[in-house]
Amino acid sequence: MKPLVVEKAQAGSWLRKLCQEFDVFGPVETKKGFYNWKRLDGTIVPHIPQGVAKVSIKTFFFPQPEVMFEFDARPTDPEAFRPIEPHCDFNPRVLFGVRPCDARSVALNAMPYREDPYFQRKRKETTIVAFLCEEGCLTCFCTLTGGSPVGIEGADMAVTELETGFFLEPVTEKGLRLLDYEFFRKPTAQEKSIAQERKKGAQKSVEDTASKLRSKDLMDLYNAHFWAAVAESCINCGACTFLCPTCYCFDIQDEALRGKGRRIRYWDSCMFPLFTQHASGHNPRGEKLKRVRNRFMHKLKYFPDRFGPISCVGCGRCVRDCPVNIDIRQVMEGLMEV
């Protein structure tokens, strides 16, 4: 698909058109240096910060909470427990200014969620406009996890910011659809060469961490000597899992009131003791060490053994916001040495 350019002076008009047709969201600075995803109304072209927003885009694919459907819940008639209305209450939308690591997280999450109609419907209705990174920030490390600052996995359109405008490369038909307006021109030879040079200059994936970890024996990694040391300081707050774009575990609860029931899906975390608590009272991951080990083993061994890549895109949110400075990069190094 051929790239086009929108001049900076025209970008606002393009965004306004998009806002008329889609629900458009972008990272907005809500406090100094603190970006979060907000609905855009087309009055401003948001400044896309280097690095990722505080909250990942998983909130668009796994809302917190998510009503899955309503059901008839008259307790006197057990036969009446039938779903009556599946819910999917959202409009087609555009996520504008996604960084490549977050875009890639959607492609990774689609592997275990390939048969989940809620996730798949949201993915179908969402167009991801990825802004390629010029350079990484201190706490991100996409190149250690199979990604790249200029990666397009999971994106529908890739954007390179130039001095005068934005170099737009549609990746999918959904991305191409966003160029269906009159604001664009063909790129000049110089603009094409700048965009290409940026990509050449950006560091590509340097470590094939996934295949190295796949080749290691599962039980050797499971019994590695350092798990107690890693887990010691963890307070099981769950911040790492809630902020992580590739953590997707959930709990389901049914609520019933006056004969009407709702099935609701909430985010859950393997760092919480109740996550694995059985009805009998037994808890196979009752100790903190087992929970911490599970989080890392899932991302770095169980997921790649099953799907191929590791389940981490190197966004660095867990490193940045863990209150006790637990760093997945150090755990990766430790596992590589086993």
User: Whose Cβ is closer to ligand SF4: residue 54's or residue 74's?
Assistant: 54
Residue 158: CB atoms within 10 Å: 24
The verdict on 149 binding ligand SF4 (CB under 6 A) reads no
User: Whose Cβ is closer to ligand SF4: residue 105's or residue 127's?
Assistant: 105
User: Whose Cβ is closer to ligand SF4: residue 4's or residue 243's?
Assistant: 243
The verdict on 132 binding ligand SF4 (CB under 6 A) reads no
When binding is defined by CB under 6 A, the residue of 120, 172, 236, 283 that contacts ligand SF4 is 236
Residue 182: CB atoms within 10 Å: 8
Contacts of 276 (CB under 8 A, 6+ apart): 270, 283, 284, 285, 286
Among positions 261-280, residues that touch ligand SF4 (CB under 6 A) are 271
The verdict on 126 binding ligand SF4 (CB under 6 A) reads no
The beta strand positions in 4-91, using DSSP E, are 4-7, 23-31, 34-39, 66-72, 83-86
The DSSP code sequence of 262-328 is: EEEEEE--TTSGGGG--TTS--TT-SHHHHHHHHHHIIIIIHHHHHSS-S-----HHHHH-TT---H
> Token pair of 26, please?
């972008």
When binding is defined by CB under 6 A, the residue of 316, 331, 332, 335 that contacts ligand SF4 is 316
User: Smallest distance, Å, CB 42 to ligand SF4?
Assistant: 31
User: Whose Cβ is closer to ligand SF4: residue 14's or residue 119's?
Assistant: 119
User: Smallest distance, Å, CB 99 to ligand SF4?
Assistant: 11
Contact 94, 155 (CB under 8 A): no
Amino acid sitting at position 32: K
User: Whose Cβ is closer to ligand SF4: residue 131's or residue 184's?
Assistant: 131
When binding is defined by CB under 6 A, the residue of 107, 162, 239, 289 that contacts ligand SF4 is 239
Task: Return the SS3 of 243.
Answer: helix
When binding is defined by CB under 6 A, the residue of 178, 326, 331, 335 that contacts ligand SF4 is 326
Q: Which stretch binds ligand SF4 (CB under 6 A): 59-67, 128-136, 188-196, 240-248?
A: 240-248
The verdict on 323 binding ligand SF4 (CB under 6 A) reads yes
Count of positions on this chain that bind ligand SF4 (CB under 6 A): 25
Contacts of 281 (CB under 8 A, 6+ apart): none
> Token pair of 4, please?
């086009």
Mark residues 280-309: x for contact with ligand SF4 by CB under 6 A, - for none: -------------------x----------
> Token pair of 182, please?
């009159």
User: Whose Cβ is closer to ligand SF4: residue 189's or residue 324's?
Assistant: 324
The verdict on 324 binding ligand SF4 (CB under 6 A) reads yes
Q: Which stretch binds ligand SF4 (CB under 6 A): 73-81, 116-124, 180-188, 311-319?
A: 311-319
As a whole number of angstroms, the longest Cα–Cα distance in the chain is 74
The verdict on 328 binding ligand SF4 (CB under 6 A) reads yes
User: Whose Cβ is closer to ligand SF4: residue 6's or residue 328's?
Assistant: 328
| Residue 253 bridge partners (DSSP) | 264
What are the residue ranges of helices labelled H in the chain?
Answer: 8-21, 58-61, 100-109, 117-125, 173-177, 189-201, 209-214, 218-222, 227-232, 239-243, 288-297, 303-307, 317-321, 328-337
The verdict on 130 binding ligand SF4 (CB under 6 A) reads no
The verdict on 314 binding ligand SF4 (CB under 6 A) reads yes
- Site residues for ligand SF4 per CB under 6 A: 234-240, 243-246, 271, 299, 312-318, 322-324, 326, 328
